[in-house]
Amino acid sequence: VFEDAEECARVLADAMALKKSAAAYMHPEVGVTATDATVFGRNYFNRYSAPETEVFEDAEECARVLADAMALKKSAADYLHPEVGVITTDGASFGRNFFNRYSAPETEDVELADERACVFAEAAAIKKSALDYMHPEVGVSVSDATVFGRNYFNRYSASEVEEDVFAEERAEILNDAMALKKLAAAVKGANLPSTKSTKLSSIDSDVGPTIKSASTVNLFGLSEEVV
């Protein structure tokens, strides 16, 4: 069958390849023999006579390493030989700042100036308070015109006034006093009954053991003098 023939061919090919690999492994002295033309080709960039080249990333890393080494070497030399001094040819190194030159007038930052002014003002206020405390005989001297002004409502010749809250409180107190006075006068002039009392019926007769109607009204606590 055609499928069996193909399977047999593949098995034989695998067996030949395994045999060849085993022979090459057991006899390395035989060497490799090939007749393919591409095997004898050469790479132009990797040929023996080509100049030595380097990958771009490796070149950048090498440059950084060399730059760091040079900087470290310069720092070590400056540390070991301070007598050499600093040598530079940069034109900007010889420039001068107009505001920081030696002949410029002394200046101060705005924040420092404001802080200095606040400190001086507080010191002056403390000094004035100390002088006023130590010398009370000096008195207070002032030239402000508003100090000599007078309040129209609080002047000596003004009529006496009272605040609304106090006036309302005063009126309530007076009303309570008048009510108490009237009550006291009514109690004093009233004809109060004596303390002797008896139980009287609605017809002013003694309540006896007689049977009364449920609708009968009894008045208790009235004295004999009440008519």
DSSP for 13-70, written as a single string:
HHHHHHHHHHHHHH-GGG------GGGG---STTSTTSPP---HHHHHHHHHHHHHHH
Instruction: List Cβ<8 Å contacts ≥24 apart for 196-203.
Output: 196/223, 196/224, 197/221, 197/222, 197/223, 198/222, 198/223, 198/224
Quick check: 224 and 195 in contact, CB under 8 A? Answer: no
Query: Residue 126 has what pLDDT?
Result: 96
- Identity at 157, one-letter amino acid code: S
Q: Which residues of the chain have pLDDT under 70?
A: 189-227
CA atoms within 13 A on the CB side of 22: 6
CA distance 39 to 62: 35
Contacts of 161 (CB under 8 A, 6+ apart): 153
Q: How many CB atoms lie within 10 A of CB 207?
A: 13
Q: What is the per-residue pLDDT for 198?
A: 46
pTM given for the model: 0.25
Beta bridge partners of 206: 200
pLDDT per position as a tens digit, 181-207: 988 888 876 655 544 444 444 454 555
Q: What angle (nearest 5°) sits at the alpha carbon of residue 42, between those of residues 39 and 48?
A: 130
Question: Could you read off the pLDDT of 15-50 as tens digits, one per residue?
Answer: 999 999 999 899 989 888 877 878 878 888 888 888
CB 197 within 8 A of CB 222: yes
pLDDT at 199: 46
